C-alpha cells in the first residue's frame, strides 16, 4: 500500500490536469456558453458540459498512469478498475453552474480511499480561477497553496464574527423545499448565510476558516470526498453520509450544527 503522501502527490497531479482543462476553457468561455457543449442531466438546472467530460478524461489519465489497477469512480463516466485496495472518487468540475455563468467558485476534486478500511487517504480540490489548491493527506494536515504561498489550514477561529453558515441546495424542487424549510432551525447559531455553489469548495472554505460550517443534504460521494478529508484534517468534525448519496456536515467542535 503506498503512503498517504505518495497518494497525495498523485491526487495533486490528477487534479492539476483537470484544472488545466477548466482554465483553458474559462479563457475561451463567453456569456452565451457557446462551445461548452451544454446539456441538462437529471433535474432542471443540473448541467453538464463538454468541459466536464474533457476534465474527467484528463484526471483519469493521470491516475491510470500511476495506479492502473485502482478503481476509479467519477461523475461523468462509468466506474473502471477492480481488484485493488484503493478506490478514487473524482469530480472533474464541481460547480459547473458557476463555471457556465462566469463565477470563479469551481474546480477539480480528486480523492482516494482505502477500500478495506473505508478510510480516505488523500484529497485535493484545485480551483484554477481562484488560484487555490486545497489538499490533505490522512494524518498529514490540510493546506491551501495560492500564489506560491502554502498555508496550513486549521478551521475557523472560535471568536470569528460574523458567524457564517455555508449551504448548498438541491436542483430537485422538492428536496430544495425541504432544505429551505430546515434553514430557520439551522440558522439559530449563525449570523448570516452563504451558498457557494460547490460542495467541494464549501468544505474547503470551512477548513480555511472563511466560513464557520457547511451543510448540504443531497450530494453524491464525488461531491464531498476530497473536501471532507480536507476539512477533517483541518480539525473539523465531519459527518459523512453512510451511502453514496446523502448529506454532509462540517463544523468546528465549538459550533455544533443542528
First and final C-alpha spacing in the chain:
38
How do strand 192-195 and strand 237-239 relate by DSSP bridges? unpaired
Determine how many CB atoms are found less than 10 A away from the CB of residue 242. 6
Helix, strand, or coil (residue 186): helix
Question: Given the C-alpha cell 478514487, which residue does it identify?
Answer: 88
Report whether 38 contacts 100 (CB < 8 A).
yes
Q: Residue 134: CA atoms inside 13 Å, Cβ hemisphere, count?
A: 34
Question: Given the C-alpha cell 468561455, which residue does it identify?
Answer: 29
Report whether 52 contacts 76 (CB < 8 A).
yes
Residue 216 annotated as part of some ligand binding site: no
Residue 75 annotated as part of some ligand binding site: yes
Residue 94 annotated as part of some ligand binding site: yes
Residue ranges of the binding site for Mg(2+): 75, 91, 93-94, 223
Amino acid at each position: 500500500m503506498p503512503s498517504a503522501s505518495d497518494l497525495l502527490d498523485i491526487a495533486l497531479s490528477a487534479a492539476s490536469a483537470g484544472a488545466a482543462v477548466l482554465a483553458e476553457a474559462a479563457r475561451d468561455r463567453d456569456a452565451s456558453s457557446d462551445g461548452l457543449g451544454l446539456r441538462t442531466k437529471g433535474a432542471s438546472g443540473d448541467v453538464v458540459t463538454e468541459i466536464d467530460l474533457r476534465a474527467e478524461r484528463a484526471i483519469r489519465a493521470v491516475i491510470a498512469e500511476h495506479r492502473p489497477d485502482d478503481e476509479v469512480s467519477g461523475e461523468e463516466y462509468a466506474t473502471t478498475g477492480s481488484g485493488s485496495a484503493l478506490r478514487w472518487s473524482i469530480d472533474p468540475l464541481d460547480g459547473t453552474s458557476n463555471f457556465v455563468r462566469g463565477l470563479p467558485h469551481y474546480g477539480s476534486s480528486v480523492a482516494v480511499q482505502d477500500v478495506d478500511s473505508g478510510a480516505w487517504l488523500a484529497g485535493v480540490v484545485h480551483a484554477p480561477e481562484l488560484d487555490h489548491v486545497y489538499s490533505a493527506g490522512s494524518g498529514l494536515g490540510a493546506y491551501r497553496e495560492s500564489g506560491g504561498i502554502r498555508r496550513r489550514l486549521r478551521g475557523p477561529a472560535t471568536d470569528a464574527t460574523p458567524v457564517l453558515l455555508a449551504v448548498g441546495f438541491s436542483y430537485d424542487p422538492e428536496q430544495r423545499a425541504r432544505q429551505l424549510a430546515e434553514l430557520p432551525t439551522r440558522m439559530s447559531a449563525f449570523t448570516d448565510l452563504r451558498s457557494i455553489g460547490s460542495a467541494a469548495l464549501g468544505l474547503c472554505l470551512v477548513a480555511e476558516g472563511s466560513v464557520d460550517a457547511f451543510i448540504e443534504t443531497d450530494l453524491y460521494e464525488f461531491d464531498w470526498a476530497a473536501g471532507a478529508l480536507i476539512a477533517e484534517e483541518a480539525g473539523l468534525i465531519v459527518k459523512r453520509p453512510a451511502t453514496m448519496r446523502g448529506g454532509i456536515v462540517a463544523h468546528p467542535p465549538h459550533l455544533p450544527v443542528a
